[in-house]
Structure formats: structure tokens, C-alpha cells
């Protein structure tokens, strides 16, 4: 501080600091207010979504299918094969790991929220809503994966559309004609249907082609084409909607050549050696 002609003059550095500090404080206050506003908006948003989900199932009866008394409910299904095998000739069965996906519409679960078109919900929500009782008709010992949590989720859209995906290991029957073994071709089927609903209530359709992960291989087999179709069959209590998948496979000839044909040929060739050994060389013949 300098006194010139009776006037107090501040140094340049002090003058700059005195004006700069309030500016920084103002910006800091603005930023804090913005962050507080964003946090408050997010908190209110979370409360609104939680409130919607809490009241979404009020008066909901999961035992009654959507649209009961009206048109048949359409279940759009798809399968993605993640791994394949083993294929057993002894049991005439095969196993594969798949993502089994189903899509249907339940208008009782429709909702309205600004800028929110769908929710992705955990497997707990699945237990509280109606879902199709789909099963594998030719299945033997299938299971759902539950490590580390049940491998299933639901995606709920604003119009009530539901997309459900579960990870399964499917073990199913696979009839084989082994008369041409190991030069035969194997076609392993998978049949999907409803355990109780007829076509008057439930219709299954394919949403898209059965997919298979690149690089999936089967021991001793080579994967071929995959066919799929949807049809209706007459059951005891009415017509049933069924989805069918046919997985074509041919045996890996190279494997059987090395494991079966080559050893058999070697045994036959070795047995011929005894004909070129002197008949008096008994120890050599016995060794063969």
C-alpha cells in the first residue's frame, strides 16, 4: 500500500487479486448449483421410476394370461446357440447351451414416463408376472444356469411388450440310424411348445433365424445347416402350436480314420508278417 498525495494506492497485484477472487467464487457457486440441480433431478427421477414400478403390479394376476377371452396371444421366440455337445450314440441324445428368448405383449404392464421407453429388470420381476409355460417336448434333462445369479432378465417396454431371455443347457433326444456308422449323417431335433395352452390361446412363431456363435464346434462332428419351422399338431385337448429346429451334422471322417480305420489296418498288416517268418522260428511267431 502506497500513500501518494494523501491518496492510498493499492499495488497492481493486490488489485487484480481482489477482483479475480469474487469471479472464481461466482463460478464455483454456479457449478455447485448446477450439480445440485442435476442430483436433485436424478433423485426425483429415481423416485418417479420406483413409484411406477411399485404400483405397476397393483391388481395384477400372474395366473391369467394377457388378453384372455380375446385373440390368441402370439409368442415370438428365438434361439442363439452358444456351445454344442456332447453328442452321445449310446443314449441317442445331445446337449447344447443356448440363449432362449421370448417376446409377447401384456397391456396390463404398460406405463408412461417422459423420455423412458423401456426398463431392463432383474430375474426377480419374472416371478411376479405371467409368462408362457414353454417347454422342450423332446427334452431329457435341461436346466437354467444360476451362477452367480439366475441367468435371466426381462426388458419391459412402455406399451407392455415383454422381452425375456434365459440361459439354458438343453439335453434332448436325437434319434440316429447307425447302419452306416461312421459314414452316417445325424439330424438332431428340438421341439418347443406350450405345456397346456392350445392354439385358441397361445401361438408360437419364430422371430428370426436360429443363430449360432462363430467358432462353435462339436467333437467328432461337423455342423451343417439348421432348419426351423412352425406348425400345429392335434393334441388330446385341442390343437397345439409347436416350433421345430433341426440341426444337421456329419461325422468328422478324419477322426474315425485315425481312431478306427488305421489301427484296424495296422493289425491286419502285422498279422501278415508271420507268413514271412521261418516256420522254425517259434519265438518270433509267438511274439506276433
CA distance 129 to 276: 81
Residue linked to cell 408412461 = 112
Q: Measure the CA–CA gap between 225 and 198, rounded to whole angstroms.
A: 30
Q: What is the pLDDT of residue 14?
A: 47
Between the CA of residue 170 and those of 71, 144, 191, 206, what are the distances in Å? 31, 9, 11, 19
Could you report the per-residue pLDDT of 101-149, keeping only the tens digit for each?
999 999 999 988 877 788 888 888 888 999 999 999 999 989 999 988 8
Dist. CA 131–CA 122, nearest whole Å:
15
State the pLDDT at residue 47.
Answer: 72
Q: Which residue has the cell 433326444?
A: 173
Edge-to-edge strand ranges of the sheet holding 134-136: 134-136, 185-194, 239-251, 221-234
Predicted pLDDT of residue 23:
66
The pLDDT of residue 287 is: 65
pLDDT at position 4 is 43
Asked if residue 135 lies in contact with residue 159, where contact means CB atoms within 8 angstroms, the answer is no
CATH superfamily for domain 73-251: Neurotransmitter-gated ion-channel ligand-binding domain (2.70.170.10)
- pTM reported for the whole predicted model: 0.76
Work out whether strand 161-173 and strand 93-105 pair parallel, antiparallel, or are unpaired: antiparallel
Amino acid at each position: 500500500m502506497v500513500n501518494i498525495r494523501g491518496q492510498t494506492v493499492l499495488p497492481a497485484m493486490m488489485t487484480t487479486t481482489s477482483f479475480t477472487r469474487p469471479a472464481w467464487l461466482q463460478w464455483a457457486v454456479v457449478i455447485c448449483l448446477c450439480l445440485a440441480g442435476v442430483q436433485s433431478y436424478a433423485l426425483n427421477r429415481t423416485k418417479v421410476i420406483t413409484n411406477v414400478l411399485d404400483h405397476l403390479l397393483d391388481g395384477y394376476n400372474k395366473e391369467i394370461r394377457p388378453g384372455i377371452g380375446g385373440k390368441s396371444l402370439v409368442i415370438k421366440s428365438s434361439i442363439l446357440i452358444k456351445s454344442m455337445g456332447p453328442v452321445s450314440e449310446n443314449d441317442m441324445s445331445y446337449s447344447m447351451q443356448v440363449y432362449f428368448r421370448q417376446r409377447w405383449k401384456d397391456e396390463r404392464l404398460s406405463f408412461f414416463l417422459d423420455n423412458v421407453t423401456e426398463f431392463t429388470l432383474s430375474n426377480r420381476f419374472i416371478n411376479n408376472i405371467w409368462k408362457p409355460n414353454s417347454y422342450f417336448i423332446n427334452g431329457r434333462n435341461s436346466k437354467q444356469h444360476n451362477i452367480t445369479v439366475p441367468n435371466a432378465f426381462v426388458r419391459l417396454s412402455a406399451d407392455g411388450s415383454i422381452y425375456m431371455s434365459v440361459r439354458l443347457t438343453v439335453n434332448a433326444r436325437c434319434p440316429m440310424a447307425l447302419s452306416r456308422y461312421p459314414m452316417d449323417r445325424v439330424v438332431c431335433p428340438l421341439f418347443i411348445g406350450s405345456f397346456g395352452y392350445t392354439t385358441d390361446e397361445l401361438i408360437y412363431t419364430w422371430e428370426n433365424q436360429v443363430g449360432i456363435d462363430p467358432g462353435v464346434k462339436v467333437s467328432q462332428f461337423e455342423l451343417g445347416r439348421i432348419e426351423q419351422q412352425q406348425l400345429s399338431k392335434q393334441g388330446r385337448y385341442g390343437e397345439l402350436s409347436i416350433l421345430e429346429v433341426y440341426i444337421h451334422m456329419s461325422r468328422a471322417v478324419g477322426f474315425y480314420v485315425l481312431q478306427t480305420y488305421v489301427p484296424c489296418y495296422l493289425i491286419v498288416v502285422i498279422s501278415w508278417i508271420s507268413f514271412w517268418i521261418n516256420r522254425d522260428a517259434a519265438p518270433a511267431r509267438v511274439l506276433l
